[in-house]
Amino acid sequence: MDIDARGPRFGAAVTAVVLAVALITGSVWLLAWQTLAFALGAAGGVARSPYGLAFGKVVRPRLGPPTEFESPEPPRFAQTVGLGFAVVGLIGWTAGPAWLGSAATACALAAAFLNAAFGYCLGCEMYLVVRRVTVRAK
């Protein structure tokens, strides 16, 4: 079942804010929260992530009906990619080196910003490339 394309973009906007604040303040706790949010989105899909649930309960009822839908698999893959960067960021900030934590967090922030501001999902594009490669290999 396809999902409202505005949901992942809303989630990316919230993610970008959380990651920007985490990066500016160096807050391991905010990065840990975002890591959990990525993990829930990767495990259950973006509609079951904290930001997806907020979109469904608070934002979507105030919007008109969706005009654009998308497959849930690419955004879910993007959550998995974000989870990887967030885990590396946590490792860097807690065990060192700190620059690794900052760099990984900045990469996740850049990807979230691209999705929120321009609707360009790097993780989704990665999913499509991987899918094309695996289909050709068969």
pLDDT at 134: 87
pLDDT at residue 138 above 80?
A: no
Radius of gyration, CA atoms only, the chain: 15
pTM assigned to the model: 0.94
Provide the CB-side half-sphere exposure for 10 (13 A, CA).
20
- Reduce the DSSP state of residue 4 to 3 states and report it: strand
CB 106 within 8 A of CB 98: no
Q: What pLDDT is attached to residue 99?
A: 98
